[in-house]
Structure 1
Amino acid sequence: MSETVLIRPQADEDSVELKREPYRPARPAPRGPGYVLRHIAGVDETILDWVPEERHRYSRLGAIVLNTGLMAALSMLALLGSHDVPIVALVPAALLWGYVILTFDRWLITDTHGSSGMGTGKFIARLAISILMGLVVAEPLLLWMFNSDVQTQIGKDRTTLLDTYESTLKRCNPLSGEPPVDASGCTKEYVLNVPGSPRPLLDSKVAAEEERDKAKQAIAAIDAEIQRREDLARLECNGTSGRGLTGRVGEGPNCRHLRGETAKYIASSNRPQQQDELNAVTAKIVGIDADISTVSQKYAEAVSKAIKDKVDAKEEKLEKPGLLDQVRALSQLADANTFVLLQSWLLRLLLVVLDALPVITKKLSRPTTYDGLLSRQLVIDEKLHQKTLKSRSDQALGDLDVQIQEIEHSVRVRRERIEEQGRDVEADRQATLDEQIEQLARRLRGDG
């Protein structure tokens, strides 16, 4: 029975006669850009030939999916380009990342073909994946767009870091060599062991000052005692009345006695020696001050140089700004500038929408004729698969049954052969026995 098809007339080159060709399926589409885009969209051209009117629809859908892959490749190109990646690895890595995103988006959209509608659960799951991918693609493009501002912000952050480090070093290592007033945070990293500290001289000065103060106190005590004794002798000689005084004017016995006691005390108090010691200590302090001035200047220069070397070493250890540094700087810019914040989120939303657009388009669009054809084709494929499996199963079971029968027949034949061979052996044995008996009988008859 022939297949009934719709036909359409077509004139030949000479318009002499009409050719008849099937109306459906249509001729296969040429392998051009549209074919490639539909392949990206994951459609089956053999099924789409039945509804060629929908080729443009799926070409546009494939273009949307391709755009997400191109944006992902551009994003990776911008990200790697800011890290001095060799050009030999830059382009292949960007293309590979774009291919990965393209493949993932293609799977998201291809999985919806042939269905009568996308359920809410599947739509939300696919939309969440698309949003996540859009955010991943958007961040490198944001860093590329604000690259100059980001680099400036990173420079400011590193300058602040070095300034804070230097101020901590200066606070933990005073130029005077004395202990820091505020030692909080002065860990081993911040304490410098610079030789030539004036600290020993400062300690010597403190000890000398204590010695000087003691000498001054001792001299002051001697002078006070001398003054007291002289005042008492003067009052006695002047005839002043009072406790311990006679009240007699003139140089009497008591007056001479008190003056003598004062002279003895002055002689025994070693007042001149005490003054000499005080003068020596004072001179020593003056000498220490001169030494401290010289040593402190050299020590301050050494500490300043050590701090500068330490800061320079830390600056050299700072690596080239990485991705985390750039993201942190962009976040700081967004916090400080409303325009940057608005633009960054607008770009993120734009890329998220672009990446989620295929899924959103599929959800909002009605099921196409291609979806119905593909759905029925899948049902038929499942039935054919089941029938094919049953046919192969029946054939395999039949073959096994035949093999079993052949094996059983072979076993029966072998058994019959064995039994026949047994009967032949038994017959031969019986014949031999009969012949032996016959020979024995003949011998017996002959003997008789």
Structure 2
Amino acid sequence: VQQKLIFLPFLSLCRFFIHSLKSGICPLFRHIYTYLFKHITVLFESDDCVRETLRNKPTMSSGANLISVSVGHVRESLKVFGEKRFDGLPLVVRPTKGRFPFVSIPSGVWALKYRQGVLQRKPLTPGLHFVSPFEDVRYVISMQDTQFDIPNKEIPCADNVMVKIDIFLMFHIHDPILFIESLSAEKLSDLLRAAQEEAIRNLANKTKHSEIYDLVAFDESSIMEDLRKKFLPYGVTITEVRITDVALPKDIAWRLEQETTFISRHRLQKRKQEFDLVLTKHIEYLEQKRLQYKNERLAYVEQAKRERALIGKEIDEIEGRTKKLLAETAAEQDRIVRQVEEETAKFCAKLDEERVALIKRMRAESNKQRAALIAEAEAFENEVKAHTAAEVASLNAQITKLQSQTESEIEPKLVEKRAFDRKTRSIEVTSELGSINNG
């Protein structure tokens, strides 16, 4: 075992030398380191002492170390993030082949490019990018949330009792440029561990050991805000802080459990006595109420019987008055009917007399109006006939005048015809006047 342990300092020296070199400067040392570590680890696997030595180092499951690792191509970085390693959790990847001519950037990572040794302010986007001979991709940082946790440590609480409090936190890198310029994965691991221990210490100093288990339901928002303010200047955002476990020393935990059990029993016995006392009072109260309700019910029944007898008597009186009132109403109704019938007969006779007189009067007025209308019609007819005869004579005179004017212009042979026509017209006029007078 002593001979095998000789290789451990050599292995540590190789690790320190490789991590101190920048990526891509000396890939030969990286391959030598990988080969030696792989074979020496296999050589020591059968030895319990060496396995115990390696087991004391933090593993990825504990989340207590953040490291930077080297890979070949940039596209291999996704395989490294989240990979289980004995020395920690990879957060930053240094590719050795991120150079001329092309580099493929996967999604979900920050890829930082250097140009002639100067860091460019804009990370590369996912996809295929051309890289000149003066440029190289040196750092690839995960965008995903990273879990960080350290094993429990004993911390004194407010009453100087040693307790164990485990705080789990989650973070991600929001500004890779600021993170690379101000920190590294290893420095961030140290800062997170220190901040986590400080938060646990402050929380324990404000809490007594009897109230330590209440921290599981504690609101961690204040702790998360403090951690956010501390790590935002480094480009790191704390997304979640949670108290996962709280533990007391076994003897104090057993004593608290016994005290809690005794207090619970005493409280239960006291509550039981109070319950029995209240139950007895309630039973007595219910018995009193039952007797009271029974007496009140009997009183209500007797009163209801008396009221029922009074109501029956009132009903009989009302029925007698109703029968008498119905008889009086029927007699009055018969008298009113007879009176109405007599008045109706008288009124009908009077209406018949008035109707006959009205008919006679209307007939006389109709005959008188008829005679007046006939006289007016005859006078109007005579007036129309006279007016018509005058108009006919006037028209005949005009016709004669026109004919005379026409004949003066015609030859003398028409003189005889005009005389004949004049005589004929005179005869016709005379005949028409005679017929009008006769009519």
TM range (shorter): under 0.3
Higher RCO, 1 or 2 (CA under 8 Å, sep at least 6)? 1
Greater fraction helix: 1
Q: Which has the larger radius of gyration?
A: 2
TM-score, with structure 1 as normaliser:
0.27
TM-score, with structure 2 as normaliser:
0.27
Greater fraction strand: 2
